[in-house]
Amino acid sequence: MKIETERLILRELTLDDLDCLHAIFSDPESMQHYPGSFSLEKSKKWIERNIKRYATNGFGLWGVILKEENKLIGDCGITMQNINGKMEPEIGYHINKNYTNNGYATEAAIACRDYAFNFLKLNRLYSYMKYTNAASMRVAEKNGMEFVTEVEDQKNIKTRIYSISRASVS
């Protein structure tokens, strides 16, 4: 599986990506909207879980490669998540803090949205984030998503949910 955009390539993660992803997941600043940063073992399990998702669902979080540098700068993709009590397809991403504010998360998220609607034939997608994660809210909005609701939860205190339907982008 490979998705190509103007500046990025999205491809399946492998354990060879561990060092690059762990640089993101172990950084407290990058993980400020998560309960905490990851150990090396937790980062490895993250990749292994996505490899299983590729086999089970045909999708997961993919490595985001910056074409210009041929370097993995994060992950982005579709996973099944518990959204307000129901398992739904969600677009999520993590971009290395040295590459943020360049539109890479938005470019990757739009590519995932289009893949989900055009190839996976999903009818609706979601993105959810901690209520303090303004950057992720902007990416969701640039991806054509609309705010649906805010719910209280144990992990994020409050989670904001955004959504988009296939019909709205056709």
In order of start, what are the domains of the chain with their CATH numbers?
A: 2-122 (3.40.630.30)
Q: Which pTM value belongs to this model?
A: 0.94
Angle at 44 between CA 42 and CA 117, to 5 degrees: 100
Q: Is 158 helix (H, G, I), strand (E, B) or coil?
A: strand
Q: Is 164 helix (H, G, I), strand (E, B) or coil?
A: strand
CB of 164 within 8 A of CB of 125? yes
How far apart (Å, rounded) are the C-alpha atoms in residues 68 and 122?
31
Rg (the chain; Cα; Å): 15
pLDDT at 156: 61
How far apart (Å, rounded) are the C-alpha atoms in residues 81 and 83?
6
CB of 78 within 8 A of CB of 60? yes
Q: Is 108 helix (H, G, I), strand (E, B) or coil?
A: helix
pLDDT at 138: 97
How far apart (Å, rounded) are the C-alpha atoms in residues 126 and 49?
20
pLDDT at 116: 97
pLDDT at 170: 65
Tens of pLDDT along the chain (170 residues)? 899 999 999 999 999 999 999 999 999 999 988 888 999 999 999 999 999 999 999 999 999 999 999 999 999 999 999 988 899 999 999 999 999 999 999 999 999 999 999 999 999 999 999 999 999 999 999 999 999 999 987 766 889 999 999 999 86
How far apart (Å, rounded) are the C-alpha atoms in residues 88 and 110?
18
Tokens 């990506």 map to which residue?
Answer: 17
